[in-house]
Structure 1
Amino acid sequence: MLKRNYFLLLLVLSLLLVFAACSSDDESSSDATDEPDTTDTDGDTTDDGDDEPVMDTTPVTFSYFNAGSPGRDIDTNETRIGKHLEDITGVNFRIEHLVGDLNTKIGVMVASGDYPDVIVPDSAVDILMDAEAFIPLNDLLEAHGPDLLEAYADYLHMFTHADGNIYYIPFGPTVNEYIPDPDINQGAFWIQRGILKEAGFPEVHSLDEYLQLIKDYADANPQIDGMNTIPFTGLTYDWRFFAFSNIPNHLAGYPNDGGVQIDMDTHEATVYADSQYAYDWLKTVNDLNADGYLDRELFVANYDEYLAKLSSGRVLGFFDYGWQFGEARNALRDAGNPDREYIALPVVFEGVEKDQYLDPPAFTSNRGVGITTAAENPERIIQFWNELIKEENQKLVMWGFEGEHYEVDNGRFYRTDEQIEETRKEEVREDVGMAYFEWYWPRLNGTFSDGNAVEPGRQHEVAQASYRDSDREYLDAYGKNTWADFFADPDDRPWFPAWSANIEQGSDPQIFEERSDEIIRRHYARIALADPADFESEWNDFVDAYRALDVDGYEQFFTDVVQARVRGEW
């Protein structure tokens, strides 16, 4: 079993390395160079006097399936960072991105037993775990991943499974200092900025205030740039349906803990899918639809169609998580009309004291990247990841190349205006490799040992420099320094996020989630699009179907999880 005490583990590794350095030359092999080395039975070499194994750099390509995001399929060595890492490790990855339905894709893999070498399964992780598609990583990490173990030292217990094994590496342990994000990449209600300007920059807090602004603007502007205006839309496609079903929770003043809300005093979990909050939200959507303010394709548009609508500039408002529509945000910025861009607002129900959209420091332990049973020489993959997690390579991934993508002044990293614009370009990010390596691989959060932020967007110098005059017009109008200043500070939640609990495939909570997701997806659409006269009956049909499930058992499961985490037990 992998030791939780990393320092003890490091001591053991050091002793092993000393032993290897002193072992007989009879157990070693030589290469074409004149320099002697020692080789273990796995083909790893240790350099005399070095604490880290010298890697076998024979060229090898592994297949890598990323179910977490769309993108252009590519070999990592076609990027500058990927080529740099290949030069060090000999390892290249052939990346394939998800096309179509996630569960269908993963289901075909499981049924056939034909897996790529590495999988980022996202929400389908439990399916692969149940199929025993991932290999345990404990021994591999101990032998080949000292830097990985050091980076994840404080979090290992959070993703070690009940059998004592680690099967995948989550993303983003916070190292050194946590820095809040000055921009909004989490959930919010978004509105075209020009609407606020035309209305005289009003304060907007409640859902009613937000929607009234949109309605008034839509009435006065039935078309935008020759296209029919879409007053309000949302994202409901495939597993991203949570961007619609989570809305009542946020309107009630809670952060994204998944399908439950956690009482701050008792730490008890309560579902909200059939709560008064959900009723009020769906009634609002039903009214929008009846009055002609709702996107008619809300429940049928796919992800690409959704992004295209946002990019067109004819959508006035929507709810979503900022990380899901970055492509559309960049497209609107490039279009050159700042008033068509969106601003995030912390909208809540009337009477809710404060919003909780901003996430507190968190670690998501039930997502990650794993090595499958199909992989030959999995130690080579671990060695690559171990190289990737090193500070010098994380700086390449996050910041790019010094002098091209960032500058350094007295040890502080910053970007010029030109570099900020350059690193926004998707073709640049793809060529360098940032677009492929900054997420869905082992990576860091927080700050580097020199005090610079891991993510450039969290570096004060970059955040302030990235604001254009058109951005400052809105920030100054509201007396804010950053976009995050519109939102309330997050309360401390040591369990956050609750949804990252490891739920075993086939367990009662997993069966509840599977069935409830299907019920919510089917009934929410019916309720939202129903004739207003049928709203109550549609709502009651949903509640009956939902309450037929073991709601009490599901709530108790998360109550136990949260209370255990509060006690420091993960």
Structure 2
Amino acid sequence: MRKRIVMTAVLAGTMLLSACSSGNNKVAENVTKGEETTSTTKKPITLTLFDKNVGDPFTNPVAQEITERTGVFIEIQQPTGNPDEKLNLMLVSGDLPDIALIDRREATLNKYIAGGALIPLNDLIEKYAPNIKARYGDVLSKSVYEDGKNYYLNNWYGLDPDPNWAINMRMDVLEEFGYGERALAGDSFTQDEFLDLLRKFKAKYPSVDGNPSIPMTVNAEHMPTIIGSFKAMYGMKTYYEKDGRLEFIVRDPRYLEMIKFINTLYTEGLLDREWGINKAQNYEQKTSSGRVFATAGGIVNEANSAFRAQNGEDTHKLFYGFKVTAPGVEPADTTFGPRSSLGWDGVGITVANKHPVETIKFLDFLASEEGQYLLMWGKEGMNWNMENGVHVPTQEALDAIRADWAEFSKTTGARKWTWMIRNGLGEDGTPYDLMFRYNRDNVNQHALKSMEGSTWDTALYDDLGPKGGTPDALSEQKIKDIIDNTFSNMVYAKSHAEIDDMYKKMIDELEANQAVKIEDIYTANYKVRMELYNNAESK
């Protein structure tokens, strides 16, 4: 029956309502069975779980503790090839695991829902999952399907408070030019101050070690991040919101101001002449050479590692992240930290699962505060101890993480099973992510201050475009290509007047390619999403 539901939905386009109704009947049957066995079965049940990220057997210390606490043993299913292809094959064949971890960014997740392969979780959460209900909060409301139900639980959910993008500047140069105290305190800089610093660097250091200096460079392989970092200075987000509509960001008057600023950097020789073609290797060589003062995007790890190796761990010759604010923009209004609160994966219970009650209880334990520390820190008394109400890792654990974190994870089980993970800090203020968030270097620690308050949630704005493969999707792509090509041309323009002409021509091309129609789709989909979200929140 289950196989027939999935096959019919995928291959013959069965109505969603029918599939969901049938799925609900299965849930009711299986919940009853689950309730009957919970009180009588002491031997652990075995559930199959598809996870593209890990294939280790469920036998390490953390796994054993989870089984002891929940009565569930996990049989891991990991694909040998493309995980998305494997998921689609399982969907078509009906050979489903009990639990599926599916990338939220792939269309496969919606195929599983529309095909009736995942059961709705709302009643199970309400009845058996107090931790999920309390800790997920409005993440559940933001994740409802078009029928208003939840078919998966988000993994790596909640806004990650860690800094994302920044304008990175060398601390030693900032100190040399009289900005040391402000820089060390994590203060922001205005656009004019940043421009002045670039000019001073070029004037004082026309060359470094016999090579021309580069006041600012970027990694062209991450161009969306670079453009996003400049947009962040102006407080721009995904769309230009005007009169209740979502429009292409290029319609925002601040976009044209941003282009003219970047053009100024280029025409004055402050921006690397190869900004648009720098490969990662070229970028790393330049930033590590000492010829560069500033860059945009993520933390400059490779160059900073090279500087520490050359000058010692305490050197100030390092790139630090800062907010740079455009005219009229307050530091709190910058948008350097676009993050989705909905995470990377969806954890779904399939219609093949004969133990939905035990499964949701298992997931609820993992989602609990206790479960999170077990998953991410390992066993208490082995990797960490509770001291005065605070989780404290043992020195042996910290040393082992520094020496080889992958081996530490494999042997102890800490951070091996990353399911139902919540971003950020635990109730005692320690980070859930022991390995990568507990001990931070000076640059990372500084960024927590300098970039604070710049994170914003992209969740309600993601994936609002036309359906793939449609004429509207082709129009949208053509419009994006026009915008990308014009962006580069405007940066290279010889004057701001020429930029104005190019910009006007670009807008005309957008209109000729049905930009308004695509914006109508963005707006309509956004309104539907907000209605679903608000309805879910009001329940």
TM-score band, normalised by shorter chain: 0.5 to 0.7
Q: Which amino acid aligns with 2:233?
A: L
* 1:64 partnered with 2:45: no
C-alpha contact 2:465 2:522 (8 A) present in aligned 1: no
Percent of aligned positions with the same letter in both sequences? 18
Is the Cα–Cα contact under 8 Å of residues 233 and 317 in structure 1 kept in the other structure?
yes
- Paired residues for 1:73-84 under 5 Å: 75-77=55-57
Contact preservation (8 Å) 1:189, 1:319 = yes
Q: Say which of 536, 540, 553 aligns to 2:504.
A: 540
1:193 aligned residue (168, 171, 195): 171
Post-superposition shift, 1:162? 0.8
Higher relative contact order (CA 8 A, sep 6+): 2
Instruction: Provide the residue aligned with 1:287 in structure 2.
Output: 264
1:341 matches 2:331:
no
Taking structure 1 as reference, are residues 192 and 567 closer, same or farther at Cα in structure 2, changes over 3 Å only? same
Secondary structure at the aligned position of 2:52 is classed as strand
Q: For structure 2, which runs of at least 5 residues remain unmatched after alignment?
A: 1-16, 18-27, 183-187
Aligned-pair distance for 1:412? 0.6
Q: Structure 2 vs 1, CA of residues 488 and 449 (structure 1 numbering), >3 Å: closer, same or farther?
A: closer
1:20 corresponds to which residue? 36
C-alpha distance in structure 2 between counterparts of 1:164 and 1:319, whole Å = 40
**What TM-score, normalized to structure 1?**
0.63
Query: Deviation of residue 430 (structure 1)?
Result: 6.1
Which of the numbers 473, 488, 500 marks the counterpart of 1:525?
Answer: 488
Residue 436 and residue 407 in structure 1: after superposition, are their counterparts in 2 closer, same or farther (change >3 A)?
closer
- Residue identity matched to 1:553: D
Residues 55-107 of structure 1, C-alpha deviation per residue, up to 9 Å, x if partnerless? Answer: 217xx785616xxxxxxxx6445996786689763433547899xxxxxx979
1:411 deviates by: 1.9
Shift, 1:213, TM fit? 1.5
Taking the aligned partners of 1:214 and 1:438, their CA distance within structure 2 comes to 44
> Among 485, 510, 515, which residue is 1:550 paired with?
515
- Aligned partners of 2:121 and 2:150 also within 8 Å: no
Considering only aligned residues, what root-mean-square deviation do their CA atoms show, in Å?
5.6
Structure 1 residue 485: Cα displacement: 3.6
Q: Structure 2 counterpart of 1:155, which letter?
A: V
Classify the secondary structure of the residue corresponding to 2:40.
coil
Give the whole-Å Cα distance in 2 for the aligned partners of 1:269 and 1:191: 34
Q: 2: CA distance between counterparts of 1:96 and 1:520?
A: 39
Please say if residues 406 and 416 of structure 1, whose CA atoms lie closer than 8 Å, have aligned partners that are also in contact: yes
Q: In structure 1, what residue type is equivalent to 2:504?
A: N
Q: Which amino acid aligns with 1:339?
A: H
Give the match's secondary structure for 1:231.
strand
* Paired residue secondary structure (2:276): coil
Cα distance in 1, alignment partners of residues 178 and 227 from structure 2? 32
Structure 1 position 214 matched with structure 2 position 192: no
Aligned to 1:48: 40
Is the contact between residue 49 and residue 77 of structure 2 (CA under 8 Å) also seen in structure 1? yes
Q: Which residue of 2 aligns with 1:102?
A: none
Write the distance in 1 (CA, Å) between the matches of 2:461 and 2:380: 38
Q: Which amino acid aligns with 1:525?
A: S
> Does the Cα contact within 8 Å between 2:169 and 2:294 map onto a contact in 1?
yes
Contact 2:288 2:306 in 1 (8 A): yes
Shift in alpha-carbon separation, 1:249–1:285, aligned structure 2, 3 A: closer
* 1:205 alignment partner in structure 2: 189
Distance 1:435 1:523 in 2: 50
Letter in 1 for 2:483: I
For residues 115-167 of structure 1, the C-alpha deviation after alignment (integer angstroms, 9 at most, x for no partner) is 998675464x2476469898642258977995585454653332121145655
Match of 1:299 among 257, 276, 284: 276
Of the structure 1 ranges 399-408 and 517-526, higher mean CA displacement relative to structure 2 is found in: 399-408
* Larger helix percent: 2
> How far off is 1:561 after superposition?
6.0
Q: How many residues align?
A: 485
The 1:158/1:250 distance shift into structure 2, 3 A limit, reads: same
For residues 417 and 194 of structure 2, the distance between their equivalents in structure 1, rounded to whole angstroms, comes to: 33
Deviations 1:228-286 (A, max 9, x none): 6543233553xx543133345422235x4xx22457xx776454324332222222323
Equivalent of residue 320 in structure 1, options 297, 306, 310: 297
Contact 1:186 1:321 in 2 (8 A): yes
For residue 64 of structure 1, give the secondary structure of its aligned residue in structure 2. coil
1:409 Cα deviation from its structure 2 partner: 1.7
Cα distance between partner residues in 1 of 2:536 and 2:428: 32
CA pair 281-363 structure 1, distance change in 2 beyond 3 A: closer
Alignment of 1:114-153 (within 5 A): 121=103, 123=105, 125-126=106-107, 129=110, 136-138=117-119, 149-150=132-133, 151-152=135-136
* Contact kept in structure 1, 2:58 and 2:74, CA below 8 Å: no
1:505 aligns with 2:467: yes
Q: Does 1:250 align with 2:250?
A: no
TM-score by length of 2: 0.66
Evaluate the alpha carbon distance shift between residue 500 and residue 61 of structure 1 in structure 2; reply closer, same or farther with a 3 A threshold.
Answer: closer
* Uncovered stretches (5+) of structure 1, i.e. residues with no partner: 2-11, 22-45, 66-73, 99-104, 473-481
